[in-house]
Amino acid sequence: LYTNVYADAESASKKVAQDIADLIRSKAEKGENAVLGLATGSSPLKVYAELVRMHKEEGLSFKNVITFNLDEYYPMDPSSEHSYVYFMKKNLFDHVDINMENVNIPSGTIRRKEIEEYCATYEAKIKLHGGVDLQLLGIGRTGHIGFNEPPSNEKTLTRMVTLDPITRKDAAPGFGGLENVPTEAVTMGVGSILNAKKVIMMAWGESKAAIVNEMMNGEVSGQVPATYLQLHNNVAVFLDEGAAKELK
């Protein structure tokens, strides 16, 4: 894991956005698509804002971009303001020239008995596009990446999961109370994430400091799914000073 500590989330996010733009442009020059693995939550917000700015002011085009989001709550209507579909449109897709047919977000409305097949199809589609070139990640206080809560091992693929009580508690303010937070989600697996060619992990603020140290220096274990990133040879960890505070 390569660590980059920045003074603040803003400057770190600009560098992450620049890396993404470089990938998109270099792929476009070769007539190829850039396959991005995307995250929601607060961590990537400034990256998306910077990408929107680059689209508007610097002509960065998303015509050759294919995206796969990590996860979605279940059940979740895509038109709900709590959905990750809504989040991605509001923060990125509605403001750039991406072809919405190239956007993939796990469905929160799939029928229960069809979920297994649906998840296998999601995985197959990633493979069909040659795999994820660049996977963006945040980390939850449980050590989850995507919604891979403890225990999740390195072989897990896209599937239905039960959310950890800590994760639901962290999401409660946005839902107007814990009782409104779904108990389940559909998420790409730890194994799906490890298949990406490059991973960028972002964590901001002191509330992430302990789990960031655990991810970097802890024993690799399903009890802290983010520790599996230690097994990947191309992970860049972007931190602000708060999130780097407990690094040993």
149 is catalytic: yes
Minimum CB–partner distance for residue 114 and ligand F6R (Å): 22
Alpha-carbon distance 5 to 241, whole Å? 6
Of 71 and 133, nearer to ligand F6R (C-beta) is: 71
Sites of contact with ligand F6R (CB under 6 A)? 39-43, 70-71, 138-140, 144-147
Catalytic entry in 72, 123, 149, 214? 149
Question: At closest approach, how far in Å is the CB of 61 from ligand F6R?
Answer: 24
Cβ at position 12, least distance to ligand F6R in Å: 13
Nearer to ligand F6R, 9 or 23 (CB): 9
Residue 74 CA to residue 87 CA, distance in Å, equals: 15
Closest approach of ligand F6R to the CB of residue 118, in Å? 18
Closest approach, Cβ 75 to ligand F6R, in A, equals: 17
Q: Which two tokens stand for residue 193?
A: 């994430």
Neighbours of 112 (CB within 10 A): 10
Active site residues: 149
